[in-house]
Every structure is written in structure tokens, then in C-alpha cells.
Amino acid sequence: MNNNIVVAIDGYSSCGKSTLAKALAKELHFIYVDSGAMYRAVTLYFLRHNIDFTNHAQVADALHNIHLNFKTHNHKTFITLNEEDVSEEIRQMHVADKVSPVSAIKEVRVAMVRQQQRMGRSKNIIMDGRDIGTVVFPDAQVKLFMTADPKIRAERRYKELLPTNPNITLEEVFDNLAHRDYQDTTRQESPLIRAQDAIILDNTDLSQDEQLLFALSHIEPFITE
């Protein structure tokens, strides 16, 4: 089997990118990399260590002390920050509130992109994020650009967050998403844009199975025995 197929999935926040990416990885036995988790883990480190985001020397210094890894246990993938499993904490609102400014910092992007490109070498991978088809893997065989109605996206994320955040409101989640969309699409460094050769997948009215079949139909031609 061809062993260097890259599937790049980009799109807005809470569009179901990671759900689709995980399902594809399971179906195809590809490695799944959640690049957003890396930006979230960096953000968590900056918050814990009171790093001034505007201070380039402090940011560069902090990046040297950040070691991220993906580990799999019982078919679940975890992200570790300096060997600590931070998979749960990076999903919390205090991290979500600050991840856009952190991911807009050039030094942060350079460091993450370098690591992501290394992960894609000689492997079949599915990576989701905002700049995967444009910057990280411009030569990816398959590029998907996911989008969905903002209200539906907010409802989906709200349902996900509610069990661990009983006081959260739908309005708060909607505002956070709208703010992140704005920052992600208007930032100077690698803004979220659709790669010219990316296939648009609007999943507002699509089930998870329908999305999976759609994506598989675009990937399967590249899989040779």
C-alpha cells in the first residue's frame, strides 16, 4: 500500500473536523494528528507560566521548554505537554479564549508547522487544522475544507462542553466561536483560507456516516494495494 498519503482537513472551529478525521483514520488505519490540540497545549503552557504573548523573547524561550507528544492508549489518543496528559484541560474555555491570539504568533506557528511536517514524513496521515492544506502540506493528495451553519456549530460544541461545564451558556459558546472564526480568518500569519484545490464539505445537513462516505470516495483513488 502507498505509505505516504496525506489527507488535510481544514475549516472553521467546531465544524466536526476531528470527528471526521478520527473516523477516517480508524477506517483507513491512518495516523490522526489534531493540530489544534498542539496550539491549545502551547496556550495552556503560556497561561500557566504567565508568558506575555507580545514579548517575542519570552515566547521563543517558552517554546524551547515545550515538548508535545501524541500517545495512544486503548485506541484513544492523548496529547502530552512535557509528559503530562493535558487532553482534557486544553478543551476548557480558559484555553479556548486565548488560543486564537497564541496561534497567531509567528514563532509559535513556525515551531508547530515544523513538528507537524515531521509527523507526516513517510506515513499515511490525516491532519486537521486551519492551514494544513495551505501551509503544512500544500502537496497533500486530498484536501477537505469543512464548513457548517454557525448556529449548528455552536449547538454541537455546547453539547460537548455542557457535561464538564454545567454553567456554560449557548450564547457564550456562540460568541467564542464567532470571535475565533474572525481571528483565525483575519490574522496575518497563515489565516484560515480554503486551498484552491480543497474540496468543500458543508456538513450542516449531513450525518457523520454521510460525511465519512463522501471523504472516503475522495481518498480511496489514492490507495493502491
Binding site for ligand DC (CB under 6 A): 13, 35-36, 39-40, 99-100, 103, 129-132, 180, 184
* Least CB distance to ligand DC at residue 39 (A): 4
* Least CB distance to ligand DC at residue 50 (A): 20
Whether 146 contacts 15, CB under 8 Å: yes
Pairing of strands 125-129, 31-34: parallel
Residue 50 has phi, psi (to 5 degrees) of 50, 45
Pairing of strands 76-81, 68-73: antiparallel
- Note the Cα 223 to chain centre separation in Å: 24
Q: Which is nearer to ligand DC, 162 or 178 (CB)?
A: 178
Q: Which is nearer to ligand DC, 191 or 223 (CB)?
A: 191
| Cβ-based neighbour number of residue 159 at 10 Å | 11
| Measured distance CA(174)–CA(152) in Å, rounded | 10
Q: Which is nearer to ligand DC, 143 or 180 (CB)?
A: 180
* Least CB distance to ligand DC at residue 186 (A): 12
* Least CB distance to ligand DC at residue 1 (A): 27
**Three cell numbers at 1?**
500500500
Angle, vertex CA 104, rays to CA 62 and CA 60, nearest 5: 20
* Least CB distance to ligand DC at residue 31 (A): 16
Q: Which is nearer to ligand DC, 66 or 132 (CB)?
A: 132
List all residues 6 or more positions away from 130 whose beta carbon is below 8 Å from its beta carbon: 10, 11, 35, 36, 103, 184, 190, 191, 192
Q: Which is nearer to ligand DC, 48 or 106 (CB)?
A: 106
* Least CB distance to ligand DC at residue 115 (A): 11
Q: Which is nearer to ligand DC, 36 or 150 (CB)?
A: 36
